[in-house]
Chains A and B, each alone.
Chain A
Amino acid sequence: GDSVTQMEGPVTLSEEAFLTINCTYTATGYPSLFWYVQYPGEGLQLLLKATKADDKGSNKGFEATYRKETTSFHLEKGSVQVSDSAVYFCALSVGGTYKYIFGTGTRLKVLA
């Protein structure tokens, strides 16, 4: 079945370090891909999305490219800030339906 696999955390970085959080997926059809972020004590918020192969989603300095050949959607940011500390979820929506599959989440901690 459809699934999303994320790298396990926690990921601890110093401020201004480069961030990569890996995400790979398995899906039938053509899913849309998402990254959501969850700050402590809050619900999830959409960070970025991509709806077809080779699309690049970007927001707040974060980027991810929909790679169909490697079934990946890795999240990157060139210079993280303390305020980026949160849990990041990779997700897909199953093509043609409204079912959503989320990864297990990766906790990011950025130290000043």
Chain B
Amino acid sequence: EAQVTQNPRYLITVTGKKLTVTCSQNMNHEYMSWYRQDPGLGLRQIYYSMNVEVTDKGDVPEGYKVSRKEKRNFPLILESPSPNQTSLYFCASSTRTSGSNEQFFGPGTRLTVL
């Protein structure tokens, strides 16, 4: 089954404790992206990647890091989480033939930073 998976689905942590949210897709997509969803703000793009070793900032990259060492994986790293990073996070992937391609979204990771 074609899908985007994220782990963990739920995470409660404390301020300053480094964490990684994993994202993996099995569709051989070149493009992957991370979003956060907050009430009243919709989805905001954090980082995206056009291909292996190619990443770029979205609208809200502060406090996040990403890496793209393999085509299928695109982990989101919070080096020193803060309470304002409490949010619902989505990973997405698509082919890269144009910016009008459908994005396939993962099920989301709900992160709480105390």
Contacts and interface: CB of A to CB of B under 8 A. Distances in A.
A102 B106 contact: no
Contact of B43 (A51, A98, A102): A102
Interface string B78-107: 000000000000101000101110110111
Contacts, number: 60
Interface of B: 4, 31, 33, 35, 40-45, 48, 50, 58-59, 90, 92, 96, 98-100, 102-103, 105-108
Contacts of B92: 43-44
B31 A89 contact: no
A99 B48 contact: yes
Interface of A: 4, 6, 32, 41-46, 49, 51, 89, 91, 93-105
A43 B93 CA distance: 12
Contacts of A103: 42
A15 to B, nearest CB: 27
A102 B42 contact: yes
Contact of B99 (A43, A45, A94): A94
Contact of B58 (A6, A93, A99): A99
26 contacts: A6-B42, A32-B98, A42-B107, A43-B92, A43-B105, A43-B106, A43-B107, A43-B108, A44-B92, A46-B102, A49-B102, A51-B100, A89-B42, A91-B43, A96-B99, A98-B31, A98-B33, A98-B50, A98-B96, A99-B48, A99-B58, A99-B59, A100-B45, A100-B103, A104-B42, A105-B42
